[in-house]
């Protein structure tokens, strides 16, 4: 039975209000460091940890009045309660998203103080959290992965991918690959001088860091990570008839977005051990800071792994921006890549194991959490949610993925420790 048009219109109206309210809230812009500060830190060798606290961040205008923004969002919450009550599944998603934006505003009000970390931990999670259904903390899984990846680091695995492709050529190649994927939709890959990361996806574009050299593998990664996941889910969300909120991702969707993106890198064999290790190292560095390490400690951590001073500072900055440089209060967003991959992998595996693969394309209908997916599928059958228009081939044709996950579920029942001891013994012989 389809939902009535009046209900659909209420969803559309609230979606537009949420999207408008969140538009000026830009986390990374609000916590960015000036280039001059970064240069000063490099030149000083951090003999003294600088005081980058609330006064420094106050110079970086949020672009909105935070208290008025909280009131605006609370008004939306009240209207959702009035229109949908406490038991409506879509209404509950809208309330959760709105509450998340309120938490983001409160986090930004605490820039440069432990209050920032308090909300970062609530929004993005902590390395000290337990994984649901396990007795392992997030950082413990990170250390297990580090042991494996460190063993691969110096192995001869095949081709060495040199960073000898200019950012201009990367832009041209990605446009060539992605325009057909999006069926001629107006998307654009372009150069950008202001981003910290190598690439970033927007509403209908992907930005590539200017004056940077990349490898062939980097292009493959950008294609699936930024293009087929981040950009595709944004456009799929924006093309919803009523559920326009799906185009915009509150932080609770970041974990799943990054998890899907990393999973696509793995499924397409686009990634490399050093990239996986770099992502995992961010998790380990974040755990160090949560336990009290300062920015000098983290710089040393990265430099001891062979990173240049510039790269070590760039990676440290990701963890300390918005937080406290003396330790104890990091920005925990970067743990999303590892935690998200594990959550998405298990979600895909369990849906296939339980005979419900039809839910999986709805990971791509916009910015979602795993709890949203069954709800969106049910409301798709009721006519409210559009099927995602742009899907990676691995998810538009689920045959190969289903076999992969079927074997994965079977093989996971084997005790790897026993097999490992057996193979070590053979190798030693």
Angular region, 19: left φ>0, alpha ψ -120 to 50, beta rest: alpha
Task: State the Cα torsion 138-144-150-153 to the nearest 10°.
Answer: -80
Contacting residues for 314 by C-beta, under 8 A, at least 6 apart:
196
Helix extents (H) in 268-335? 273-290, 295-304, 309-320
Contact predicate 40/34, CB 8 Å: no
- The CA R_g of the chain, rounded to the nearest whole Å, is 22
Contact predicate 332/120, CB 8 Å: yes
Average pLDDT, integer, range 158-177: 91
Integer Cα distance of 322 and 108 in angstroms? 8
pLDDT of res. 423:
58
Among positive and negative, which fits the CA dihedral 367, 369, 375, 377?
positive
Residue closest to 302 by CA, chosen among 52, 46, 35: 46
Give the residue extent of every domain in the chain.
158-269
User: When comparing pLDDT for 418 and 119, which is higher?
Assistant: 119
HEC-encoded secondary structure of 15-37: HHHHHHHHCCCCHHHHCCCCHHH
Residue closest to 360 by CA, chosen among 249, 267, 279: 267
Report residue 426's pLDDT band, with 50, 70 and 90 as the boundaries: low
Share of the chain above pLDDT 90, in %: 68
Integer Cα distance of 365 and 219 in angstroms? 24
Contact predicate 94/253, CB 8 Å: no
pLDDT of res. 151:
75
Architecture of domain 158-269: 2-Layer Sandwich (3.30)
Integer Cα distance of 131 and 342 in angstroms? 9
pLDDT of res. 309:
87
User: What is the pTM for the complete model shown?
Assistant: 0.90
What number of other Cβ atoms are within 10 A of residue 229's Cβ? Answer: 24
pLDDT in tens, 284-302: 999 999 999 999 999 999 9
Integer Cα distance of 58 and 70 in angstroms? 18
What number of other Cβ atoms are within 10 A of residue 234's Cβ? Answer: 24
pLDDT of res. 367:
97
Integer Cα distance of 2 and 383 in angstroms? 6
Report residue 425's pLDDT band, with 50, 70 and 90 as the boundaries: low
Lowest mean pLDDT among 95-104, 311-320, 321-330: 311-320
Q: How far apart are the first and last CA of the chain?
A: 67
User: When comparing pLDDT for 408 and 107, which is higher?
Assistant: 107
pLDDT in tens, 235-244: 999 999 999 9
337 exposed, middle or buried (CB, 10 Å; 0-12, 13-18, 19+)?
Answer: buried
If you write DSSP's letter for every residue of 93-153 in order, what string do you get? HHHHHHHHHHHHHHHHHTTTSHHHHHHHHHHH--TTSBPTTSS-BHHHHHHHHHHHHHHHT
Eight-state DSSP code of residue 324? B
Tell how strand 205-209 and strand 188-192 pair up. Answer: parallel
What b/e readout covers 44-79, taking b as 16+ CB neighbours within 10 angstroms? Answer: eebeeeeebeeeebeeeebebeeeebbebbeebeeb
Integer Cα distance of 422 and 233 in angstroms? 45
Integer Cα distance of 190 and 206 in angstroms? 6
Residue closest to 104 by CA, chosen among 51, 66, 55, 155: 66
User: With 90 as the cut, is the pLDDT of residue 40 above it?
Assistant: no
């Amino acid at each position: 039975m389809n939902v009535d048009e009046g209900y659909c219109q209420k969803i559309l109206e609230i979606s537009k209000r949420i999207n408008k309210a969140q538009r000026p809230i830009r986390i990374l812009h609000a916590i960015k460091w000036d280039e001059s500060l970064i240069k000063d830190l490099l030149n000083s060798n951090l003999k003294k940890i600088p005081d980058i606290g609330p006064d420094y961040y106050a110079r970086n205008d949020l672009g909105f009045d935070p208290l008025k923004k909280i009131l605006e969002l609370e008004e939306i919450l009240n209207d959702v309660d009035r229109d949908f009550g406490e038991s409506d599944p879509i209404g509950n998603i809208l309330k959760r998203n709105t509450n998340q934006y309120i938490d983001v505003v409160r986090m930004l009000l605490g820039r440069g103080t432990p209050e920032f970390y308090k909300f970062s931990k609530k929004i993005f999670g902590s390395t000290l959290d337990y994984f649901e259904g396990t007795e392992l903390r997030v950082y413990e899984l990170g250390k297990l992965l580090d042991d494996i990846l460190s063993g691969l680091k110096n192995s001869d695995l095949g081709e060495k991918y040199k960073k000898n492709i200019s950012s201009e050529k990367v832009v041209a190649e990605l446009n060539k690959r992605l325009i057909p994927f999006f069926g001629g939709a107006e998307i654009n890959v372009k150069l950008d001088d202001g981003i910290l990361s190598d690439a970033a996806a927007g509403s209908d574009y992907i930005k590539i860091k200017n004056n940077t050299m990349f490898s062939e593998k980097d292009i493959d990664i950008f294609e699936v990570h930024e293009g087929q996941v981040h950009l595709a889910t944004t456009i799929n969300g924006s093309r919803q008839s009523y559920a326009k909120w799906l185009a915009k991702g509150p932080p609770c969707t970041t974990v799943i977005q990054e998890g899907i993106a990393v999973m696509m890198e793995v499924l397409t064999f686009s990634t490399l051990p050093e990239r996986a290790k770099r992502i995992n190292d961010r998790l380990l560095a974040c755990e160090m800071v949560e336990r009290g390490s300062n920015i000098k400690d983290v710089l040393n951590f990265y430099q001891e792994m062979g990173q240049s001073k510039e790269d070590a500072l760039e990676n440290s900055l990701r963890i300390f921006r918005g937080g406290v440089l003396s330790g104890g209060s990091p920005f925990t967003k970067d743990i999303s890549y590892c935690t998200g991959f594990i959550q998405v992998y298990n979600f895909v595996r369990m849906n296939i194991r339980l005979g419900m693969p039809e839910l999986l394309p709805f990971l791509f209908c916009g910015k979602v959490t795993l709890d949203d997916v069954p709800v969106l599928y049910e409301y798709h059958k009721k006519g409210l949610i559009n099927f995602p228009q742009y899907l990676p081939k691995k998810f538009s044709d689920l045959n190969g993925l289903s076999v992969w996950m079927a074997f994965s579920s079977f093989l996971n029942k084997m005790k790897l420790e026993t097999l490992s001891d057996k193979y070590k013994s053979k190798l030693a012989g």
